[in-house]
Amino acid sequence: MSIETPAPNAGPFAHERVSISRTMGLVMLALLPATVFSFWQFGWPAIYLFTVTLVTVLLAEAVCLWIAGKPIRPFLLDGSAVLTGWLLAMTLPPWAPWWTGVVGGLIAIVIAKQVFGGIGQNLFNPAMVARVALLISFPLELTSFVNPAPLFAAGSPDWPQGLAITFGGQATDAFSGATLLGHVRTELAQGHVLSEILPGFYTPMTDAVGTLSGSLGEGSALLILFGGLFLLYKRILTWHIPVAMLGTLALAATLMHFVDPEHYTGPLYHLVSGATLLGAFFIATDLVTSPVSLRGQIIFGAGCGLLVYVIRTWTGYPEGVAFAVLLMNACTPLIDHYVRPRVYGRDRKGSPIEYADEIEVSR
Amino acid sequence: MKLFKIRGGVHPDDRKQLAAGQAIETLPLPALLHIPLQQHIGAPASPAVRRGQRVAKGDLIAQGQGMISAPVHAPTSGRIVGVGSYPAHHASGLSVPTVTLQPDGEDRWSDQIQGVADPFALDPDEIATRVGTAGIVGLGGATFPAAVKLNLRKKYKLHTLVINGAECEPYLTCDDRLMREQTDAVIDGIRIMAHALGVARIVIGIENNKPEAQAAMAIAASAHPNIQIARLPTRYPMGSEKHLVQTLTGRETPARGLTADIGVVVHNPATAFAVHEALRFGYPLVSRVVTVSGGAISRPCNLRVPLGTRVQDLLDYCGGFREEPARLLSGGPMMGQPLPSTRVPMVKGSNGVLALTAAETNLREPMPCIRCGSCVLACPCGLVPLDLAAHTRAGELEGAVSRGLMDCIGCGSCAYVCPAHIPLVQFFNYAKGEMAARGRAKQKQAETKRLIEQRTARIDAIQRAKREAMAARKREADAKKKAAAASLSTDMPTPLPTPASAVETEA
Ligand code: SF4
Ligand code: SF4
């Protein structure tokens, strides 16, 4: 064409009904059932902690945006900060003191997100950065779990008692319990074998339904799975990261269990316990910090799964989802650089395709 | 027939129901026609009429120039009232050379117009020539001269003619209507083109959202065993030539190549119809079918429009705007261009005039990229759009090119699905334009360098020749001196001419 302009407004002039806030909103919707279930399981303290964390991230986000001179309204309403706070709260012990939520929220938003340049710029999953920072700085508070004490059940804290637990640091020992992963690790370290440890403490069903102690969002594996499937159905996620992560984890567990069933737990144990499902569907799949190509996502997911298994099995930490995801986050730029889709009309190396038979076509 | 999967793509709301039910109507002649001289890819045509001259419908008003070009003909009979410039049918709204014609209302064809009784008896070259002189270009929007495409048989081993009836852009229904209403003419045109290309096999691809067109074409094609109808899944950009061919043959066109590299030539049904008219009746391309649609149009319709009609005349015929449009477009919403005003004339390549409401365009302020990968999934070319955009934004155009910028077909699938509403295609267009400009500058530099080198070489050669001549003269003089005693000789070597002036002008 003879006329060339820099095309000030090129198409398309139609747009799918999508937006960042819609994406974030759907993820929150998917988290809702599991969250509500956890509220019921762990009572008022859990609700308070959750609220404190959300308020903190919102305030932190608003102040950071204001300092950066960015428009506050659209960025605050994109939902990314709330989701970060939500996910962070899900990984905290439900009766943890209020300041864990505040410190965690600040770390997540200020250090892990805004310092990197705000939404889309962060290398690491903000919620997981905050969670790991808290775990290292305050190991006691972050590993004091309680057995479920359903709302309104006899003996569970009513709302003023809840206030005292969350804000007054008056957690009673009455409810304290160990997570399954933590318990099994301790027992194994003491030289017990699995056939002695597991019976009476664990059946896959209790974990799947979520009546074991654990962090807020580790509660019900089934409801988390349900939320994840909803996101797959809504096409917010593709199956690649969750399937690769769960598949690798299950495979590693199966192999080791096969080698030595007395010291290595089986795949189902790993799949339904701890933060496995939350991690596979909601944390590893964080859009910003995971690879953008499907093959890259498979590598990423497999890496997460493998690391989770390694950390749980052979390191000092009973749970490894946060560490695993952060380590793989660090690999994301590399994966994105080397793993790309094949360009149309080119071979994998980037040269134009050549056909051996110039004339013959497939039919 | 067996179809192959293509990668990526999107499912935009096709909104074809707005105009699909409207039969093609002929637009009444407007008061003035502004006929641009370049309505095709290639060199502009040069005017063949003077101001004040009377012309009949179909008379040549501008002659094609060079290998890739197309002539322009009078869309109706009347008087030439101007040979000057007029705003182009282009986003820039720049003025381009245009012939203005005042219709006399008779709409009288030139008496020189003559068809061929049996086009199949003609030599392929003769068909291509006739298609060329009829000014036919690719009417799907590409506007590449159709004759040049028919002549691809000389350079490539072709086996299949694919007719691109996908019409994958939302809203547009002009090809759909043409295939339904002029089925036999379209099939005839297709067969003539296949004859000209010398290919035996014809595949007509039509998306599944046009069942009537599929049915009509299937019935008309059943008489010809070499024609197959391919029922294509409704997916944008199915109508991208290379992706359509991949769907039908399972083969990708090699990068930077043509579908002819894998033996296939693709034409549009409207082009086929124009070929039919040109061969059977001798009619040059002076009108085309246009879809006027969009939520802001009172009465969406499909119109046969004389080329050069102002957009405003089309809008008036369709009852004007129902509401103030947010966007006025030429072509479909995915790859169309904004129209600078309603004054601009319709050209050979304009298949649609859309007036879209704000709800339809769903334009929003862009947000930062959240690396969601939707664009990667949607890209039919296997690119990583977020990456291309990031490099372009950072000014690293070479980086974008090495990541496949030039393989981007500009389909807009990526931008369509981006939840951050990032105008990705805008980035790519900017980068492509910038690279083209740099390429031209580089070419110019290289050319200058080459000329300078040539000049230096020439001067060197001349000086060397001079020196040699001198040396030779000296030798001969010496030899002569020696032989002087013996005999007297006069054959001196003629001195070489020094074309100094020629050197200067050439450089
Ligand atoms: S516009 Fe280019 S980058 Fe975007 S989807 Fe189409 S081909 Fe891919
Ligand atoms: S679709 Fe938009 S937000 Fe998502 S990765 Fe691509 S450019 Fe970024």
Q: Which domains does chain B have, with CATH numbers?
A: 16-317 (3.40.50.11540)
Q: Give counts: helices (H), strands (E), chain B.
A: 16, 17
Q: Are residues A32 and A164 part of one domain?
A: yes
| DSSP H or E segment with residue B428 | helix B424-484
Residue pairs between chains A and B whose CB atoms are closer than 8 Å: 210
The protein residue whose alpha carbon is closest to atom 1 in ligand 2 is B418
**Of B11, B334, B409, best ligand 1 pocket probe by most atoms within 8 Å of the beta carbon:** B409
Residue A225 within a domain: no
Q: How far apart are CA B353 and CA B328, in angstroms?
A: 7
Which of the four pLDDT bands, split at 50, 70 and 90, describes residue B496?
A: very low
Cβ neighbours of residue B457 under 8 Å, at least 6 residues apart? none
How many domains does the structure of chain A reveal?
Answer: 2
The structure tokens 């730029």 sit at: A333
Tens digit of pLDDT at every position of chain A (363 positions): 333 333 457 779 999 999 999 999 999 999 999 999 888 888 888 899 999 999 999 999 999 999 999 888 889 889 999 999 999 999 888 888 899 999 999 999 999 999 999 999 999 999 999 999 999 998 888 877 777 767 666 666 777 777 777 777 665 554 556 677 777 777 777 777 777 666 655 555 555 555 566 777 776 788 899 999 999 999 999 999 999 999 999 999 999 998 888 888 888 888 887 788 999 999 999 999 999 999 999 999 999 999 999 998 888 787 889 999 999 999 999 999 999 999 999 998 888 988 876 544 443
Closest to B164 measured CA to CA, from B204, B219, B211 = B204
Q: Are residues A89 and A155 part of one domain?
A: yes
- What are the backbone dihedrals phi and psi of residue A346, each rounded to the nearest 5 degrees, phi first? -130, 155
Residue A219 within a domain: no
A27-82 pLDDT, tens digit each: 999 999 999 988 888 888 889 999 999 999 999 999 999 999 988 888 988 999 99
For residue A78, give the chain B residue with the closest CA.
B367
Residue contact B91–A9, C-beta within 8 A: yes
Question: Is the minimum distance from the CB of B369 to ligand 2 under 6 angstroms?
Answer: yes
Residue A344 within a domain: no
Residue contact A343–B255, C-beta within 8 A: yes
**Of B374, B391, B413, B414, best ligand 2 pocket probe by most atoms within 8 Å of the beta carbon:** B374
Read out DSSP for A30-65? HHHHHHHHHHHHHHHHHHHHHHHHHHHHHHHHHHHH
The protein residue whose alpha carbon is closest to atom 7 in ligand 2 is B386
Q: Specify the amino acid at residue A256.
A: M
Q: Are residues A164 and A35 part of one domain?
A: yes
Q: Are residues A152 and A69 part of one domain?
A: yes
Q: How far apart are CA B348 and CA B284, in angstroms?
A: 12
Q: How many CB atoms lie within 10 A of CB B148?
A: 20
**Of B425, B427, B430, B432, best ligand 1 pocket probe by most atoms within 8 Å of the beta carbon:** B425
β-pairing verdict for B287-293 and B301-306 = antiparallel
Q: For residues A93 and A143, is the Cβ–Cβ distance under 8 A?
A: yes
Residue A280 within a domain: yes
Q: Are residues A289 and A266 part of one domain?
A: yes
- Closest atom of ligand 2 to CA, residue B378: 1
Rounded to the nearest angstrom, the minimum Cα separation between A145 and chain B is 34
Residue A353 within a domain: no
Question: Is the minimum distance from the CB of B412 to ligand 1 under 6 angstroms?
Answer: yes
Q: What residues of chain A lie within 8 A of the CB of B429, using their CB?
A: 6-7, 10
The Cα-based distances of B123 to B133, B157, B158, B198 in angstroms read 16, 18, 17, 10
Q: How many CB atoms lie within 10 A of CB B296?
A: 22
- What are the backbone dihedrals phi and psi of residue B338, each rounded to the nearest 5 degrees, phi first? -65, 140
Residue contact A359–B157, C-beta within 8 A: yes
The protein residue whose alpha carbon is closest to atom 4 in ligand 1 is B414
Closest to A161 measured CA to CA, from A39, A43, A35, A41 = A43
Q: How far apart are CA A304 and CA A296, in angstroms?
A: 12
DSSP letter, residue B93: -
- Using the CB atoms, write b or e for A161-195: b if 16+ within 10 Å: bbbbbbeeeebeeebeebbbbbbbbebbeeeeebe
- Using the CB atoms, write b or e for B74-99: b if 16+ within 10 Å: bbbbbebeebeebbbbbbbbeebbbb
Domain span including residue A284: 178-212+237-339
Q: Are residues A35 and A106 part of one domain?
A: yes
Residue contact B407–A1, C-beta within 8 A: no
Q: For residues B66 and B38, is the Cβ–Cβ distance under 8 A?
A: no
Q: Are residues A259 and A323 part of one domain?
A: yes
Q: For residues B353 and B106, is the Cβ–Cβ distance under 8 A?
A: no
Long-range (24+ apart) CB contacts under 8 A made by A190-197 are: A193/A262, A193/A263, A194/A261, A194/A262, A194/A263, A194/A264, A194/A265, A195/A261, A195/A262
Q: Are residues A164 and A45 part of one domain?
A: yes
Residue A348 within a domain: no
Global confidence as pTM: 0.86
Q: Are residues A76 and A146 part of one domain?
A: yes
CB-nearest partner of A10 from B92, B417, B429: B429
Q: Are residues A141 and A131 part of one domain?
A: yes
Question: Is the minimum distance from the CB of B377 to ligand 2 under 6 angstroms?
Answer: no
Q: Are residues A302 and A184 part of one domain?
A: yes
Q: How far apart are CA B415 and CA B424, in angstroms?
A: 5
Question: Is the minimum distance from the CB of B374 to ligand 2 under 6 angstroms?
Answer: yes
Q: Are residues A137 and A193 part of one domain?
A: no
Which of A160, A177, A194 marks a domain boundary? A177
Which of A177, A193, A227 marks a domain boundary? A177
SS3 B289: strand
A90-117 pLDDT, tens digit each: 988 888 889 999 999 999 999 999 999 9
Q: Which of B236, B354, B364, B374 to mutate to test the interface with A (most CBs of A within 10 A)?
A: B374
Q: What residues of chain B lie within 8 A of the CB of A23, using their CB?
A: 370, 372, 419
- What are the backbone dihedrals phi and psi of residue A5, each rounded to the nearest 5 degrees, phi first? -120, 160
Question: Is the minimum distance from the CB of B413 to ligand 1 under 6 angstroms?
Answer: yes
The protein residue whose alpha carbon is closest to atom 7 in ligand 1 is B408
β-pairing verdict for A176-177 and A145-146 = antiparallel
